[in-house]
Structure formats: C-alpha cells, structure tokens
A and B are shown apart, each in its own frame.
Chain A
Amino acid sequence: MANAPKNAGHEAQVKYGWWYSHRFLVFRRISQLLILSMYLTGPLIGVWILRGNYSGSMLLDTIPLSDPLMMLQTLASGHLPQVPEQSGWAAWSEWYALIGGVIIALAYALFASRLFCGWVCPLGLVTDFAAWLRRKLGLRSSATIPATLRYGILVAIIIGSAITGTLVWEWVNPVSAFGRGLISGFGHSASSGIITGLVFGFGASIWLIVVVFLFDLLVVEHGWCGHLCPVGALYSAIGCKGVLRISAENRKDCTRCMDCIHICPEPQVLRGPLFGKQDSPLVLSKECISCGRCIDVCSEKVFQIKTRFHRSGVEE
C-alpha cells in the first residue's frame, strides 16, 4: 500500500531513527551551507576561501572556478581574451574564467550527475522548501510541461547569445541572482545589519526568487529544477557519465510504499531501476541529482551508492 507523500520517510524514521532517515539531507544541507559560507568568510571576517560568487570565483586566490553555462554564453557571444605574450600563470589572468569553467566541468563530469544541483546550488534551498511545502500541504496536482524544455532553453540561450552578442540568460538567471544576493547581502550585513544588507544585496532580483518559489509551489511540481533550469540541464549533460550512481540494489525487498518516488525531485529516474526487472538497478539517468534522499527514506534499505561499473543485482 502506497504511503501519502507527506509521510515520505516516516516508516524509515520509525524503524531506524531520525538520523538514519535524514542522513543525506543533513549532509546535503551542510554541503550547501558550507560552500555558501566559504564565500562569506571573506567579506565577513577577512578570510578569503572563495572570492567571487557562483558565477565565477577564485579558490584560495589561486584556482579559478566558474559556471560552465556562463562560459558557454561568453564564448557564444564572441568574447575571447587575447593570448598573452609573457609566460607564467599571472599573464593568463584574462583566461582565468574560461579555465575555471573547464575545471568545474571536468570535476562534475567525473564525479556524479548533477552534483551541483543537489549539493551546491543555493537555489536548491528555495525549490526544496517549495517541494516540502507541497508534500506537507498535499498539493499534488500540477500543470504539465515537458521536462525536456530545459534543454530547449539551454540551446536557445547559446544560440541567443551568439545572435545578440550578449549573455542573454544572465539578465534573469535566478540561480546566480540568489547566490549573488546572499553573498553581497551577507557581505554588507557586517556594516549595515542583516536585513538592510540582504535588501541591498538582492535588490529587485528578489522577485526572481519569489517567482520561482510560487511557480514550484503552485504551478508545476519541481517546476524550476525539473523542467526549466538550463544550468541544471547543462550539468545533466556534463555529468551523464559520472562515476558515482545510486543503485536500487535490493529492489527485491521493495514494498511499493512509494516513499522514494514521493521524495525524489526527478521521480521518473527511479522507475526503471526500481520496478523494471529487466533494467539494471543502477540509476543511470542523467537527470538524477545524486541527492541520496531515496536512500534516506526507504524503510527496506533498497538503495545504495555504487559506481557505474557495478554489475551485480541484475535478476535473471
């Protein structure tokens, strides 16, 4: 018998306790907040771990990191810095952003699919909150828009940048706007107080976040991350061959309580590995955000983390 969405994870909690049924959620929150705080230690206490924001930053003032979608837009719009005449790392300073985009893309490509979406993206806090409210309030109905729309938006952004010679997405990108608002907002809170700081940091961009929240809560379930966000679409493409995967290893124990389906932000990725007896139990879909919440909420311990090369568990 399927459980109600608002009770997702309740059985696991009764059986194994709060910590077991929330481990990955807690780790994920720690990860999201840790990365945010690495940006904030600089402006707040003068210890610069990450300088910049989620669009681009310098790790410990030496390793550049940048948003691959930002780099694609920049390249498509026609910007390419000049090759420096001198040698040495410092002479390449105008290339740091592009090099940082390659570093980020490679790191996420190797590790796991959409790790950014699950473990880094600050907007995930907003969309997770909307999804949680939806479950608790029993808002199940939702308008339907195709999940592939985000890939269309991604392509449109690249082509649009090439045609217009501008970074078309960055005017309205709520992902970078949220990170930017938090970082410059808290950065100013030391001198002007938290509320004034945040109001200043977000400015009018706060409305982008409100729109995403309302859209996710009232219009389309997992609407932003699951259907529209081109940043996530790019990370799906980048991480499609990532090594770490969730596996429905013990799917023979599944009681079809649906807790994992209710909690999963991309529930379609679980269907094949969990219910399709012919499929591999590995969740190989590039849409999986590798959040591990299915492991948390399953009272039968069906899910485990494996590498994509793992082959056991296929039933004959």
Chain B
Amino acid sequence: MANERDKGPARRRFLRDVARSAGGLAGLTLLLGIPQKQSQAREGVALRPPGALSEEAFNRACIRCGQCVQDCPYDTLKLATLLSPVSTGTPYFVARQIPCEMCEDIPCVKACPSGALDSSLTDIDNSRMGLAVLLDHENCLNWQGLRCDVCHRVCPLINKAITLELHRNERTNKHAMFLPTVHSEYCTGCGKCEEACVLEEAAIKVLPLSLAQGKLGKHYRLGWIEKDKAGHSLIPEALTLPTRKPEGGQ
C-alpha cells in the first residue's frame, strides 16, 4: 500500500518542501499580521500605575514582572499583551473600565522591584497618572445647562481637582451653567470621573500628561504675575512724547 502511493524521493521532497513553506509562510503571515491589528486594539487610553516614571524611562525600568498587577486589590492594573496600546508585558489601566482606587498604602508602588514605579511616592494624592480633560463640551450635560455633576461628585479630591465654575447660560438668558473644570495641581489622573461619566462615550477623559498638557515656552512672562511678584508694575512711568503737529505748532 505504502509503496504504491510513494512515488520516490522527488515526491517526498516536494511534499516536504510544500509543508515547510506553508509552515514558514503561516508563521510569517501571523507575525506580519499582528501589527496590522494593533490599531483595532484600542479600548481606551492606556494609563500607567501611580508613581510611574515618564513613559520613556518607565519602558526602560519596567521588567514586566507583573508584581504591581498581582498586588493591586481592585484588578485595576493589567499586563499588556502583544496588541495592547503599550509595550508588551508592561502594566496599564483603562480608566473607563476600572479606575485607580487610590489606595493609601499604594501597594503597586511597594511591589515594584525596579524603581519603574518611584518608591518615593508615599502620598497617593501626589501621584500623576494622567490628567482629566473635559474633552467634549458639545455633549457634556453640564455644558448644556443641565445638572449632571457626576464627575465632580465622584472625584476623590472633590472641589480641588474638579470644581464647578458658574457661567451665564446664554441660551436661556436666565440660568447658570455649572461647568466641570479640572485643576492640574490636584488631579491625580485616577480616572473615577471618566468611569462615572453618564454619557455612552465619556465626555471627560483622563489622558497621559504628555497628551493632556501644553507647555508655555520658558521665555514667556505673564505681566500680572510678574507684577505681583515684584509688588509693583514693571513698566516704568509711561513716556510722554511731545506732540508734533504737521504745521510745526505745539
């Protein structure tokens, strides 16, 4: 039986080469196909755990051991896989899914063996995982003059990290709008506001600091601040120039 079907070494070599090429191509296709799917893998903005060094330094220092993930009591942190929005194996969380609960003892930082999460962070209120930004004024209920305020009320640093600023409602001309406003000196980027936003897609989102914040050039001076610092106006007495009339009169 076997001998009848076996047509000699050429046939065997052909079958072998076909199998090998198919295997190699399958592997190569998988490898090349993986990055093509990367763009579809975004399920929200990936944020780093509290105390994380800057993204570049974090990627250097993190040894992908997952100890921060295992020590997180709220399952907030995940380890990235090949198609996650951050480097494979590194920890991240997505605020809209499970935000950071801001544990007082910060177990994730304590668990980190490499300094990728800075061990000098001992007060969770000093962490800067990101910055909440009220991205979408057009859909935010408060911006439409309604009273939602959910992001404000769930904020662990209520009235510090998010305040409600009163503005005249120009549509009705007799009501106020209470506009949620984030203050970067207090916002830790925990993401509770984004998780709680009642819209189908959150109007307020926590972005990594590199995305959320602009940067004023070093040479800029704001006159009113300089004036406060100096205690008086920095512009010398206004010059009075003689008025010259075309006809030479004074």
Contacts and interface: CB of A to CB of B under 8 A. Distances in A.
Q: Is the interface of A mostly helix, strand, loop or mixed?
A: helix
Interface in B163-220: none
Given A171-B87, A171-B88, A204-B34, A215 B63 contact: no
Contacts, number: 154
A203 B27 contact: no
Interface size class of B (residues with CB under 8 A): 35 or more
A118 to B, nearest CB: 23
A214 B23 contact: yes
A51 B111 CA distance: 9
A218 B63 contact: no
B6 interface: no
B23 A217 contact: yes
A173 B57 CA distance: 20
B19 interface: yes
B115 interface: yes
A31 interface: no
A94 B63 contact: no
A170 to B, nearest CB: 6
Interface residues of A, number: 58
Given A42-B70, A187-B70, A141 B16 contact: yes
A121 to B, nearest CB: 16
Contacts of B89: 55, 170, 173, 176-177, 180
A56 B65 contact: yes
Contact of B115 (A94, A166, A204, A214): A94
A211 B24 CA distance: 9
Interface string B65-85: 111011100000001011110
Contact of A215 (B22, B27, B88): B27
A74 interface: yes
Given A55-B63, A177-B82, A183-B66, A215 B23 contact: yes
B126 to A, nearest CB: 18
A64 interface: yes
Contact of B113 (A79, A96, A176): A96
Given A64-B113, A74-B114, A184 B65 contact: no
B138 interface: no
Interface of B: 13, 16, 19-20, 22-24, 26-27, 30-31, 34, 37, 41, 56-57, 59-61, 63-67, 69-71, 79, 81-84, 87-89, 110-115, 119
Interface of A: 42-43, 51-53, 55-58, 64, 66-67, 70-71, 74, 77-79, 81-82, 93-98, 100, 139, 141-143, 165-167, 170-173, 176-177, 180-181, 183-184, 187, 202-205, 207-208, 210-211, 214-215, 217-219
